[in-house]
Structures are given as C-alpha cells and as structure tokens.
C-alpha cells in the first residue's frame, strides 16, 4: 500500500513539475499571443517542389494575404531579410513568406517564396534599417515572438533585429544549430557586423553553431541570457517520466545535467561572449525544486561557461528576463563594449566565475 501511495505521489509531483515548466516557459497559452499555437491553414498546402531547372520561370501560387494564426512549433525560418521571413513547415516541408506583420505573402516551394521575397525587395517593401545586425535565438518551448522588449531596445540602439524561429520541440539542438549556421551565412553579405543574443536553450544552440571553424568571419559578440550551460535540474526531474518525451521532444533531453550531458559538450563560442543570469539574490531562489539561487527554471550555478568575457546577474524570472529594462540595457552595453556595466568600470567575470561554474567539476 505504501509503495502504491509513493508511486501516486511521484506521479503527482512530476505532473506539477510539467505544469510549472509550461507556465514559466509561457507554453500553455492558447490565445493569439501564445508562443505555441496550433498549425494554421498553411499546413494543409502541398509542397510544390523546386524547379529542376533554376533558369525556368517560377510560377506563383494564388495567395490570400492573411495574418498567420501561429503554429510556431511547426515552422522554422530558412531566410530572413528586412523583417520578412521564409519559413518551412517541419511536417509538410512546404514554405511560406511572411512580412513584418506576419501576413502571409506567398506560399509553396522554397523557390517560389525566394522569388516572392526578391520581388518584395525590388518593390521597396523588404528593406534593411541598419548595417548592424543582432540575431536573437529563443529558448525551449518559445518562439521568435518572445523577445518584444529586447527587440525594441536593440532597434532603439540602431540594430537591425532578426528574431529567429525554430520548432524547438521537434528536433535536437544540432539540427537547430545547422539552421542557424545556414541563416548566418546568408546574412553575411548584407551586414558589416553580426551579433547574437540568446535566451535559455538558445544559448546551447549558439554554442554549437559558433564553436570553432563554424563561427562566421563577421561574427561580433554573443550574449547568452539565462543559459543552462551546465544543464538544468528541472530537465533532470522530467527525464524518467514517459510523457515528457512527447512534450519536450529530442531537445528536451539535451538540457539535462550530468558529466555526459549535451550542455557540457555543446562547445565554446569562437567569439567574445558574456553571460547574463537571473537570480532572486537570496541564495535560495524562486523554485524550491532547484538547489541554491535560481531564476525559477535554471540554477545560477549552472549558467556560467569557461571562456566568458564577463558575467552579470539580474534579479528576474526566467520567462521574462530577456525583456526586462535592466537586461536590455546590459545586453546593449555588452554588444557595444565587450563587457557588462557593473557600475565600477570593471568586468565581473573573474568574481562571478567560481559561483557560476562550480557545478562543472
């Protein structure tokens, strides 16, 4: 009887953990503003296929320019220019072209959508606002739309901002990293400098995409906001519960801690990078399931990474940390100066590194 009771308690505990993670990560919303929505009408269209002969004229499909209903866990960006983006559906393989307002302007094959994007450039609808680019990589169960405050702050600072969307519950981190590599290669000819800012799991994607020779020549600086660089205890708590695999997908497993975890071997960015972590500041954190201080999802001790140029802690929760005024200010400061603003003119990596990386041992 006691064993049955223990099993029920364990099941309830894991269920509460899933609910907590979904709420904190913002993945339970079903309204228009939610990050994870059901597929829209685009998912029923068939892939028209790329023409075998690149010289053949590209015929466009009849399109009704309506605002997309979302389906952000089913679409990944394959090209972005001036706020317009071509996305590929991860289930059907067909593509769509969205303008800055997320209105669908074309659909069909990749070739058709690329032609439609070129037409928009010629009409002066898709234009660049700056020669400085900042690429944003979202976290697990989130989307490109999770960065509103940061996007506004970076634009005010004079950056063209591309918030990249990838279907975080569908593939593993290596797949997302390959997507980011391809995008960065496509951005190189349009900008004088390229920077990257990440949130949560996006930091692991960036580490993989920017490590060693994979790092593009024009890569500037990287800021990782609330990254699980040594894994996350919350991921550990979900690993042995079978429903979690259907919720989190392959990438969810890669967020675990442990000596052989993906987070420990994701690579070190071959560019100047800093880490901005969240914490309550009382040594205990917001989440009783996480040891030590934390931001509600990732423990402070697991955010640091060897080689970081600087480290700063902001009192904020994981789900909103990238959009708080202080975080936005610190991100812009690091991109411009290669360090965070500690108020004393000195960097903080040396002092913070022992606390931030103590779990690497």
Please tell me whether residues 148 and 274 are part of one structural domain.
yes
User: Residue 338, class by beta-carbon neighbours within 10 Å (0-12 exposed, 13-18 middle, 19+ buried)?
Assistant: middle
Cβ–Cβ under 8 Å, residues 218 and 191: yes
Please tell me whether residues 119 and 148 are part of one structural domain.
no
Domain assignment of residue 13, yes or no = no
Please tell me whether residues 283 and 222 are part of one structural domain.
yes
How many of the other CB atoms lie within 10 Å of CB of 63? 15
Q: Radius of gyration over alpha carbons of the chain, in Å?
A: 21
Please tell me whether residues 148 and 268 are part of one structural domain.
yes
Domain assignment of residue 140, yes or no = yes
* Residue where one domain finishes, among candidates 127, 146, 165: 127
Domain assignment of residue 307, yes or no = yes
Domain assignment of residue 4, yes or no = no
Phi-psi region of 307 (alpha: psi -120 to 50; beta: other; left: phi over 0): left
For residue 84, give its domain range.
Answer: 39-127
Please tell me whether residues 255 and 308 are part of one structural domain.
yes
Domain assignment of residue 20, yes or no = no
Beta bridge partners of 276: 225, 312
* Residue where one domain finishes, among candidates 77, 96, 127: 127
Please tell me whether residues 105 and 172 are part of one structural domain.
no
* Residue where one domain finishes, among candidates 110, 127, 144: 127
Domain assignment of residue 300, yes or no = yes
pLDDT by residue, tens only, the chain of 361 residues: 555 555 544 554 554 444 444 434 444 333 333 333 333 444 333 333 444 444 566 889 999 999 987 777 789 999 999 999 999 999 999 999 999 999 999 999 999 999 999 999 999 999 999 999 999 999 888 889 999 999 999 999 999 999 999 887 788 889 999 999 999 999 999 999 999 999 999 999 999 999 888 888 789 999 999 999 998 888 877 776 666 666 667 777 777 787 778 888 899 999 999 999 999 999 999 999 899 999 999 999 999 999 999 999 999 999 999 999 999 999 999 999 999 999 875 544 444 443 444 433 3
Total-model pTM:
0.81
Please tell me whether residues 209 and 296 are part of one structural domain.
yes
Please tell me whether residues 55 and 165 are part of one structural domain.
no
Please tell me whether residues 101 and 161 are part of one structural domain.
no
Domain assignment of residue 6, yes or no = no
Closest CA to 87 of 165, 169, 198, 189: 165
Looking at the structure of the chain, the number of domains it has is 2
Domain assignment of residue 202, yes or no = yes
Please tell me whether residues 83 and 200 are part of one structural domain.
no
Please tell me whether residues 151 and 291 are part of one structural domain.
yes
Please tell me whether residues 95 and 197 are part of one structural domain.
no
Residue 235: give its domain's CATH number: 3.40.50.1820
């Amino acid at each position: 009887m006691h064993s049955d009771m223990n099993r029920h308690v364990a099941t309830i505990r894991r269920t509460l953990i899933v609910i907590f993670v979904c709420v904190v990560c913002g993945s339970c919303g079903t309204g228009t503003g939610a990050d994870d929505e059901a597929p829209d009408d685009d998912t029923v269209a068939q892939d028209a296929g790329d023409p075998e002969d690149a010289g053949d004229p590209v015929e466009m499909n009849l399109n009704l320019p309506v605002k997309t209903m979302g389906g952000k866990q089913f679409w990944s960006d394959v090209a972005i220019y001036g706020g317009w983006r071509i996305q590929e559906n991860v289930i059907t393989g067909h593509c769509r072209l969205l303008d800055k307002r997320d209105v669908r302007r074309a659909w069909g094959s990749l070739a058709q959508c690329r032609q439609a994007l070129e037409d928009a450039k010629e009409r002066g609808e898709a234009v660049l606002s700056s020669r400085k680019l900042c690429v944003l990589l979202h976290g697990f169960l989130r989307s490109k739309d999770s960065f509103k405050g940061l996007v506004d702050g970076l634009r005010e600072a004079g950056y063209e901002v591309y918030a990249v969307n990838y279907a975080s519950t569908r593939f593993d981190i290596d797949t997302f990293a390959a997507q980011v590599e391809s995008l960065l290669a496509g951005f190189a000819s349009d900008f004088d400098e390229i920077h990257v800012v990440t949130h949560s799991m996006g930091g692991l994607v960036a580490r993989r995409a920017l490590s060693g020779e994979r790092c593009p020549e024009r890569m500037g600086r990287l800021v990782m906001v609330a990254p699980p660089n040594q894994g996350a205890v919350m991921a550990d708590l979900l690993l042995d519960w079978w429903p979690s695999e259907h919720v989190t997908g392959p990438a969810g497993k890669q967020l675990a801690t442990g000596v052989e975890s993906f987070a420990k071997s994701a690579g070190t960015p071959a560019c100047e990078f800093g880490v901005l972590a969240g914490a309550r500041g009382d040594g205990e954190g917001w989440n009783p399931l996480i040891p030590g201080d934390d931001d509600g999802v990732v423990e402070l001790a697991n955010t640091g990474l060897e080689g970081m140029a600087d480290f700063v802690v902001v009192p904020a929760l994981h789900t909103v940390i990238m959009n708080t005024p202080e975080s936005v200010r610190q991100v812009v400061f690091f991109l411009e100066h290669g360090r965070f603003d500690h108020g004393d003119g000195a960097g903080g990596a040396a002092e913070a590194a022992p606390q931030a990386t103590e779990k690497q041992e």
